[in-house]
Protein backbone atom coordinates (compact mmCIF):
# COMPACT_ATOMS: atom_id res chain seq x y z
CA UNK A 1 0.00 0.00 0.00
CA UNK A 2 1.21 3.51 -0.81
CA UNK A 3 1.47 6.31 1.71
CA UNK A 4 -1.84 7.75 0.55
CA UNK A 5 -3.61 4.42 1.16
CA UNK A 6 -2.34 4.30 4.73
CA UNK A 7 -3.31 7.92 5.34
CA UNK A 8 -6.87 7.10 4.24
CA UNK A 9 -6.99 3.98 6.44
CA UNK A 10 -5.73 5.79 9.54
CA UNK A 11 -7.85 8.89 8.95
CA UNK A 12 -11.00 6.74 8.70
CA UNK A 13 -10.04 4.85 11.87
CA UNK A 14 -9.46 8.19 13.58
CA UNK A 15 -12.86 9.52 12.53
CA UNK A 16 -14.69 6.31 13.49
CA UNK A 17 -13.13 6.31 16.95
CA UNK A 18 -13.77 10.03 17.48
CA UNK A 19 -17.46 9.58 16.54
CA UNK A 20 -17.64 6.46 18.72
CA UNK A 21 -16.20 8.39 21.66
CA UNK A 22 -18.62 11.29 21.11
CA UNK A 23 -21.54 8.85 21.03
CA UNK A 24 -20.49 7.22 24.31
CA UNK A 25 -20.04 10.55 26.06
CA UNK A 26 -22.80 12.70 24.49
CA UNK A 27 -25.63 10.20 24.70
CA UNK A 28 -24.83 8.92 28.14
CA UNK A 29 -27.74 9.49 30.49
CA UNK A 30 -27.60 12.18 33.16
CA UNK A 31 -27.25 9.42 35.74
CA UNK A 32 -26.57 10.36 39.31
CA UNK A 33 -25.90 6.91 40.69
CA UNK A 34 -22.23 6.21 41.07
CA UNK A 35 -20.55 2.87 41.60
CA UNK A 36 -17.21 2.50 43.34
CA UNK A 37 -15.34 -0.63 42.33
CA UNK A 38 -12.16 -2.20 43.61
CA UNK A 39 -10.59 -5.32 42.06
CA UNK A 40 -13.67 -5.47 39.85
CA UNK A 41 -16.01 -5.83 42.80
CA UNK A 42 -18.67 -3.29 43.66
CA UNK A 43 -17.71 -1.63 46.94
CA UNK A 44 -20.60 0.81 47.13
CA UNK A 45 -23.36 2.24 44.98
CA UNK A 46 -24.28 5.81 45.87
CA UNK A 47 -27.04 8.08 44.63
CA UNK A 48 -25.22 11.43 44.69
CA UNK A 49 -28.45 13.39 45.07
CA UNK A 50 -29.13 11.74 48.42
CA UNK A 51 -25.82 12.75 49.97
CA UNK A 52 -26.32 15.88 52.05
CA UNK A 53 -23.26 17.72 53.25
CA UNK A 54 -19.94 16.00 52.72
CA UNK A 55 -18.87 12.42 52.83
CA UNK A 56 -15.53 10.67 52.61
CA UNK A 57 -14.94 7.04 51.77
CA UNK A 58 -11.59 5.46 52.47
CA UNK A 59 -10.32 2.54 50.44
CA UNK A 60 -7.06 0.72 50.88
CA UNK A 61 -5.15 -1.12 48.19
CA UNK A 62 -1.69 -2.43 47.39
CA UNK A 63 -0.24 1.09 47.16
CA UNK A 64 -1.91 2.60 50.22
CA UNK A 65 -5.12 4.53 50.68
CA UNK A 66 -7.53 6.29 48.34
CA UNK A 67 -9.89 8.88 49.78
CA UNK A 68 -13.09 9.45 47.81
CA UNK A 69 -14.89 12.72 48.52
CA UNK A 70 -18.55 13.49 47.88
CA UNK A 71 -20.19 16.90 48.22
CA UNK A 72 -22.91 18.91 46.44
CA UNK A 73 -23.81 16.03 44.16
CA UNK A 74 -20.29 15.55 42.87
CA UNK A 75 -17.66 12.93 43.52
CA UNK A 76 -13.89 12.99 43.20
CA UNK A 77 -10.72 11.30 44.39
CA UNK A 78 -9.53 13.67 47.09
CA UNK A 79 -6.19 12.06 47.76
CA UNK A 80 -4.36 8.84 47.06
CA UNK A 81 -1.12 7.15 48.01
CA UNK A 82 -0.70 5.63 44.56
CA UNK A 83 2.55 6.56 42.75
CA UNK A 84 1.06 8.27 39.68
CA UNK A 85 -1.86 10.27 41.20
CA UNK A 86 -3.71 10.11 37.88
CA UNK A 87 -6.93 9.43 39.81
CA UNK A 88 -6.54 12.66 41.82
CA UNK A 89 -5.64 14.72 38.73
CA UNK A 90 -8.83 13.49 37.04
CA UNK A 91 -10.86 15.83 39.26
CA UNK A 92 -14.62 15.54 39.58
CA UNK A 93 -16.44 12.70 37.88
CA UNK A 94 -18.55 14.06 35.03
CA UNK A 95 -21.52 12.18 33.67
CA UNK A 96 -20.35 12.81 30.11
CA UNK A 97 -16.73 12.03 30.86
CA UNK A 98 -14.57 9.05 31.54
CA UNK A 99 -14.54 7.07 34.78
CA UNK A 100 -12.00 7.87 37.48
CA UNK A 101 -9.43 5.11 37.42
CA UNK A 102 -6.64 4.32 39.87
CA UNK A 103 -4.75 1.46 38.26
CA UNK A 104 -2.20 0.89 41.05
CA UNK A 105 -4.91 0.39 43.66
CA UNK A 106 -7.36 -1.07 41.11
CA UNK A 107 -10.11 1.42 41.99
CA UNK A 108 -12.73 2.61 39.52
CA UNK A 109 -15.42 5.23 40.10
CA UNK A 110 -18.06 5.49 37.38
CA UNK A 111 -21.65 6.40 36.73
CA UNK A 112 -23.97 3.43 36.49
CA UNK A 113 -25.79 2.91 33.20
CA UNK A 114 -29.34 4.16 32.80
CA UNK A 115 -30.33 0.71 31.56
CA UNK A 116 -29.20 -0.79 34.86
CA UNK A 117 -31.32 1.74 36.70
CA UNK A 118 -34.39 0.89 34.63
CA UNK A 119 -33.81 -2.80 35.24
CA UNK A 120 -33.52 -2.18 38.96
CA UNK A 121 -36.76 -0.19 38.95
CA UNK A 122 -38.58 -2.84 36.93
CA UNK A 123 -37.27 -5.45 39.32
CA UNK A 124 -38.49 -3.49 42.32
CA UNK A 125 -41.92 -2.89 40.75
CA UNK A 126 -42.38 -6.53 39.80
Q: Is 36 in the site for Zn ion (CB under 5 A)?
A: no
Q: Which residues 27-46 are close enough to bind other proteins by CB under 8 A?
A: 37, 39-40
Q: Count the helices and strands in the chain (H runs, E runs).
A: 3, 7
> Is residue 98 a contact residue for other proteins (CB under 8 A)?
yes
Contacts of 51 (CB under 8 A, 6+ apart): 70, 71, 73
Q: Are 19 and 40 in contact (CB under 8 A)?
A: no
The size of the interface with other proteins (CB under 8 A), counted in residues, is: 31
Backbone angles phi, psi at 16, to 5 degrees: -60, -45
Handedness of CA 50, 37, 86, 104 (dihedral sign): positive
Site for Zn ion in 61-80 (CB under 5 A): 80
**Beta-carbon contacts of residue 15 (< 8 Å; ≥ 6 apart):** none
Stretch that binds other proteins, among 47-55, 64-72, 99-107, 117-125 (CB under 8 A): 99-107
The listed partner (other proteins, Zn ion, none) that binds 120, CB under 5 to 8 Å by sort, is: none
Asked if residues 68 and 77 have their Cβ atoms less than 8 Å apart, the reply is yes
Kindly tell me which of 35 and 64 has the beta carbon lying closer to Zn ion: 64
Please count the other Cβ atoms lying within 10 Å of the Cβ belonging to residue 102: 24
Q: Shortest Cβ distance from residue 123 to other proteins (Å)?
A: 21
Site for Zn ion in 85-124 (CB under 5 A): 87, 102
Give the shortest CB-39-to-other proteins separation in angstroms.
6
Binding site for other proteins (CB under 8 A): 1, 3, 6, 10, 13-14, 17-18, 20-21, 24, 37, 39-40, 62-63, 83-84, 86-87, 89-91, 98-99, 101, 103-104, 106, 108, 110
Amino acid sequence: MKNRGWIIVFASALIICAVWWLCITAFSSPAKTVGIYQNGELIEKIDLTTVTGEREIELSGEYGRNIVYISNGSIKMKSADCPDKICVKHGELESSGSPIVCLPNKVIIKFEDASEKIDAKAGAAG
